[in-house]
A and B are shown apart, each in its own frame.
Chain A
Amino acid sequence: MKGRYLLAITLLLLPLSLVVTSGAARAEKGVTAQELFDGANAAYSRGDFGTAIRDYRRIERRYGVSASLLYNLGNALAAAGDTGRAVLNYERALRLAPGDQDIRNNLRRVRRNAGLYLEDQPLYRRAAGLLQADQWALLAGACLFVLALSLLLPLLTGRIPAALARGIAIASLLGLVLSLPAAVYDYRDWNDGVVVNDSARLLISPFASAASSGSIKAGRLVHPEKRYGDYLLVTDETGRSGWLHRSDLALITDLPRQHRSRAR
């Protein structure tokens, strides 16, 4: 009997203790990361971009990433003149916060300052570029949900006017048909790379001794096609293709490996 009481108390306390512990851990983690973040921001404000970059990266390695962290890191790198990595971090930040206008504006400005212009894009590419991949996916998901509701509810209740339900269904179906291909198209570029080496050159074959087919600017977005050894066959956003050494580019979603230490 006594054993049963003990077991019941333990079962009650265990989830409670887990909740409390995880909450405390989260609080500790948040405070520490925020303190580091504030310090890095202060360094950025002093114009000490090297320190700011180092501290932002420390947060990245220890605690993970947020849109604001990557955005600030992008600003610091841009200010330090590292266009390639600035573009990389803005692109990463946009993956997390696709609607953030600060990120979009700064990315556009840094690219423009570096002369990273795009030639005239076909209409479908410009249309797909109106929103980020996640935004298109969210729109497609919402349209699908509304479509399902507009079809199911009239059948279940019989109280919704058929014309209204049909109108909503057609509108949501149209939204789905437009947004889903755009999402799929944009997701193809989800894990593109960014050229981070100022002296990167496209090679015609994956060997150091291969002839170069041209230079490529730091900050250019490239789509990896295949890999051979340390080289990646890439196509850049202007349509040029060639082999790049792995160290000349960084993949957008390939974050630095995290160290899960709690060092303050």
Chain B
Amino acid sequence: MTGQDHRHHGRMWAVVVLALAIVTMAGTAMAARPSVTASLGSDRFPVDQGTMLTVTVTGDTASRPELPRVDGLQFLYQGQSSRMEWVNGRFSSSLSYLYQVQAARPGNYTIGPIRVRVAGQVVKSRPIRCTVLPPASGATGPATGAGAGGSAAPPAAGTTRLRSGEADRIGFMRIIPKKSASYAGELVPFTIKAYFRQGIRVTVKSQPQVNGDAFVLQLDDQRPQQDEEVVNGIPYTVLTWHGTLSGIKAGTYPLEVDIDTTLLVRRARQHPSSMFGAPFFDDPFFDDFFGTLTRKEIKLVSPRRSLTIRDLPTKGRPRDFRGAIGTFSMAVTASPTRTRVGDPVTLKMRVSGTGNFDLVQAPVFSGGPEWKTYPPSEKFTDKGNGRGTKEFTMAIVPTTAAIKQIPPVTFSYFDPAAGRYTTLRSEAIPLQVTGGTPAAPPPVTTATPAAPAAGRKSAAAGATVSGLAPIHTSLGHLQPAIVPLYRKAWFLALCGLALAMLLAALALAIRRNHLRKNPHILEERRAREELARHLLAMKDAVERDDGARFLETSRLAIQDRAGQVWHREPRSITSADLRQHLPADSILVRVFTMAEHAGYSGEVPKGKELRELMEKIRTELEGLS
């Protein structure tokens, strides 16, 4: 290969790599871009049957779709399902919101665009059109079989769809609902099991999905439980999901679930058709087992079962029924039970049990106009498999002292086991209300503020805003940020000063205490100061050439220093004491004797001798110990 060929090959590789990079980046960008699509189960449906609207959001986390108001159409939220994929190292997810569409009358309708907030931006779907037909004659529900519920989605291109039985050499899956008949909206617990033959390299790409639009499936946990089972003597790895499903509309529908997987298989180099005579292995897919490794997309599908959905009975339906189906209990508490007119009482209503908690709404408070009530807040604790507790907290305010009790609250639900509606009714709770502030004022939205007057604050402005204090007319000091006091310089300086003062006080107190315990320190200091004073006086005498004063000052200095060192009264020290403690040739002894004699002899040193004595005395005094 020539150098030119090398260059040519290198250039070609660079082009290929660049092209791949561009394609990958474009793909990534496409995958990252959020999108919203809306589709109807059928764009032509009878007015008495409805259809399913599926809003699918891909690319990022999103808020619940904002459905447009369409005169004549009603959208009933049925649930949501998520789908995750990991393809070629790239993760993508989509979330589908399901709504049942019910029409009030036949006609042509346009739905949309549907708005969804995704990652802070609003994304819209394309409008979709549908035709609502007159009621189907004699229809009591969709046909059994491959009707609306059985319209399984076509497999994606390149995906092999294998129903159990066909795929037993790879694996199979099952859905096992606890009931074969239920009411619309009732939660039916189920178990989904996906069996994979041990030794087969398979990657699960999605959660189980229900085919068709007759059911909404909700998994208790996104991560399946993994076990091993032996079926007919063959060991399988089993993934198990638990959850609940609910039927949307009356009728008998096929129920099947599928799951997307990727299988790692060998690509065929030859066709060993003679090895297996069974037609099953004529499938080119299974030829791949005998070649190099390659990926194969497999969709495992469960066998079809049928599930019958019944409408809720209209007979005996309580007026406060809001759609709760299951078995529930209710507990109500109030706090405080002694209050004043206008003060709030917190009413806690706890609904526990098993059922469709999505549709469980707050129990109905039957208080009259003597009560002011606020919308309740709710908190749901999910215990899995449709079990849970929903707690509603509502503020209620008595507006008159004549109230003696909190009236009962009621909660109605449909019990599918008994096949009838049940209404729970709490006991009335005794309440002691005393006179106090009047009832809560009307909302501030009725404000009619007055004009602001001049001055720092307006006395008149806003005086009538339903009790709101008036607005301020002086802007005040503007600042760029809201800073806490402990980060303001002046406050830090104040605290720093206070701490410094505290430390100073502490140091002073410690020192004072130390001196009190060690009085000799003070004495020594006093002696040192006295000696320094004497030395200064001696120096002054030397400068004035005053020998008599020099000798007198020297005598006092010697006495003070010797008294300090020998722990004696300074003035009691004599020349005899000095001779006893100091060497005979000590300058101190000599000067002390000279000072004693100078009183009567009048002989004093002068001039140069004074300066020499001064230095020697200083040196010896400082060295005295």
Q: Does A63 contact B (CB under 8 A)?
A: yes
Map CB proximity to A onto B373-384 as digits: 1 under 8 Å, 0 otherwise: 011011111100
Tell me whether A134 and B484 are in contact (CB under 8 A).
yes
Q: Does B624 contact A (CB under 8 A)?
A: no
Map CB proximity to A onto B437-472 as digits: 1 under 8 Å, 0 otherwise: 000111111011111100001000110011111111
In B464-495, the 8 Å CB interface with A consists of: 465-482, 484-486, 491, 494-495
Tell me whether A148 and B468 are in contact (CB under 8 A).
no
Tell me whether B475 and A65 are in contact (CB under 8 A).
no
**Residue ranges of B at the interface with A (Cβ–Cβ < 8 Å):** 57, 61-64, 80, 82, 95, 117, 119-120, 335-336, 344, 346, 374-375, 377-382, 391, 393, 395, 440-445, 447-452, 457, 461-462, 465-482, 484-486, 491, 494-495, 497-499, 501-502, 504-506, 508-509, 512
Q: Does A160 contact B (CB under 8 A)?
A: no
B57 surroundings in chain A (CB, below 8 A): 208
Q: Does A102 contact B (CB under 8 A)?
A: yes
Tell me whether A109 and B346 are in contact (CB under 8 A).
no
Q: Which one of B63, B117, B471, B506 contacts A72 once the chains associate, using CB atoms below 8 Å?
A: B471
Known: A68-B472, A109-B441. A187 touches B495 (CB 8 A): no
Tell me whether B395 and A115 are in contact (CB under 8 A).
yes
A152 surroundings in chain B (CB, below 8 A): 501-502, 504-505, 508
Complex Cα spacing A166 to B623, Å: 47
A49 surroundings in chain B (CB, below 8 A): 447
Q: Does A10 contact B (CB under 8 A)?
A: no
Tell me whether A47 and B449 are in contact (CB under 8 A).
yes
In A240-258, the 8 Å CB interface with B consists of: 240, 245, 247, 252-253, 255, 258
How many A residues touch B, CB cutoff 8 Å?
82
Interface-centre pick from B377, B473, B479 (highest chain A CB count, 10 A): B377
Known: A66-B476, A80-B445, A258-B480. A106 touches B378 (CB 8 A): no
**Residue ranges of A at the interface with B (Cβ–Cβ < 8 Å):** 29-30, 33-34, 37-38, 41-42, 44-45, 47, 49, 59, 63-69, 71-72, 75, 78-81, 92, 95-96, 101-102, 105-106, 109-110, 112-115, 117, 119-120, 133-134, 137-138, 141, 144-145, 147-149, 151-152, 155-156, 183, 187, 190, 202, 204, 207-209, 211-217, 229-230, 238, 240, 245, 247, 252-253, 255, 258
Q: Is the interface of A mostly helix, strand, loop or mixed?
A: helix
Tell me whether A33 and B395 are in contact (CB under 8 A).
no
Not counting A120-B335, A229-B61, a sample of 4 additional A-B residue pairs whose C-beta atoms are within 8 angstroms of each other reads: A49-B447, A75-B465, A81-B443, A141-B494
Known: A65-B482, A66-B479, A187-B486. A212 touches B380 (CB 8 A): yes
Complex Cα spacing A101 to B395, Å: 25
Q: Which one of A114, A155, A204 contacts B382 once the chains associate, using CB atoms below 8 Å?
A: A204
B485 surroundings in chain A (CB, below 8 A): 133-134, 137-138, 141
In the complex formed, the residue of B with least CB distance to A38 is B473
A240 surroundings in chain B (CB, below 8 A): 377, 379
A106 surroundings in chain B (CB, below 8 A): 468-469
Tell me whether A145 and B498 are in contact (CB under 8 A).
yes
Tell me whether A71 and B480 are in contact (CB under 8 A).
no
Tell me whether A119 and B346 are in contact (CB under 8 A).
yes
Interface-centre pick from B378, B477, B498 (highest chain A CB count, 10 A): B498
How many whole Å from A65's CB to the nearest CB in chain B? 6
Complex Cα spacing A151 to B508, Å: 10
Tell me whether A230 and B484 are in contact (CB under 8 A).
no
Complex Cα spacing A81 to B442, Å: 12
How many whole Å from A195's CB to the nearest CB in chain B? 11
Complex Cα spacing A16 to B395, Å: 62
Complex Cα spacing A69 to B44, Å: 57
Known: A75-B465, A109-B441, A133-B484. A209 touches B478 (CB 8 A): no
In the complex formed, the residue of B with least CB distance to A80 is B445
Tell me whether B481 and A255 are in contact (CB under 8 A).
yes
Known: A105-B469, A109-B467. A137 touches B444 (CB 8 A): no
Complex Cα spacing A101 to B485, Å: 19
Tell me whether B465 and A79 are in contact (CB under 8 A).
yes
In the complex formed, the residue of A with least CB distance to B342 is A112
B119 surroundings in chain A (CB, below 8 A): 230
How many whole Å from B67's CB to the nearest CB in chain A? 13
Tell me whether A47 and B448 are in contact (CB under 8 A).
yes
A213 surroundings in chain B (CB, below 8 A): 379-382
A-B CB contact pairs (8 Å), 24 listed? A37-B475, A41-B452, A41-B471, A41-B473, A44-B471, A45-B462, A63-B478, A68-B472, A72-B472, A79-B444, A79-B445, A105-B468, A115-B395, A134-B485, A137-B486, A151-B505, A152-B504, A155-B505, A208-B63, A214-B377, A238-B393, A245-B63, A253-B481, A255-B481
